[in-house]
Amino acid sequence: SIIRDDATHLWIATRGGGLNRFNVQTEKFHAFRFTPNNPNALSSDDILCLYKDQKGYLWAGTSLGLNKLTKYKDHQPVFIHFTEKEGLPNNTIHGILEDNQNNLWLSTNKGIAKIIKEKKSFRIIAYNKKDGLQNNEFSDGAFYKNTTNETFYFGGISGFNVFKPLE
């Protein structure tokens, strides 16, 4: 996954190499990796998807949970983590989209999760095959938001789901 950070930087996700910030002018990389015993580091170097929300925060979906880049401290990023412990249906995050109410929608290996961001906390609602999903397991990179009609598409191992998140 590759997304723009600002006018001179790209975020590049890797499968096993962590998160990289690439300066397109200097053509130099700065790598951010999982560090054991560091609660502010990435939860995993296996990053499956990236998303930049409407407020400018970077979200990284990994095989070991969701990571939100909150700030920099001493030139190092500070990530907060969302995992099954916080209520996600699964730690493998294949896709991330945001609706018009700033809620995040994640496709996982056990359904879709909606993260409702509240003032100083969050709430998670999980949906699975019993709720009408094509299957509980979704696929890497198979997500799309049609901004014209606010329709989400999430692809999985048995097809794909189409829905309007506010409905």
pLDDT at 108: 97
Query: Encoding tokens for residue 84?
Result: 């099954």
Task: Give the pLDDT score at 119.
Answer: 77
Please state, in angstroms and rounded to a whole number, the distance separating the CA atoms of residues 124 and 38. 25
Model pLDDT, residue 100? 94
Q: What are the pLDDT digits (tens) for 120-140?
A: 889 999 999 999 999 999 999
Give me the pLDDT at residue 143, please: 96
pLDDT at residue number 67 = 96
- Tell whether pTM > 0.85: yes
Please report the pLDDT score of residue 65 as a whole number: 96
The pLDDT value recorded for residue 77 is 85
User: 40: Cβ–Cβ under 8 A, 6 or more apart, which residues?
Assistant: 73, 76, 77, 78, 79
DSSP readout, the chain?
-EEE-SSSEEEEE-BSS-EEEEETTTTEEEEE-B-TT-TTSBS-SBEEEEEE-TTS-EEEEETTEEEEEEEEETTEEEEEEE-GGGT-S-S-EEEEEE-TTS-EEEEETTEEEEEEE-SS-EEEEEE-GGGT-S-S-EEEEEEEEETTTTEEEEEETTEEEEE-TT-
Name residues of the chain where pLDDT drops below 50. none
Which pLDDT value is given to residue 131? Answer: 95
Report whether 105 contacts 88 (CB < 8 A).
no
pLDDT score of 76: 79
Q: Are 126 and 138 in contact (CB under 8 A)?
A: no
Note the pLDDT of residue 103: 96
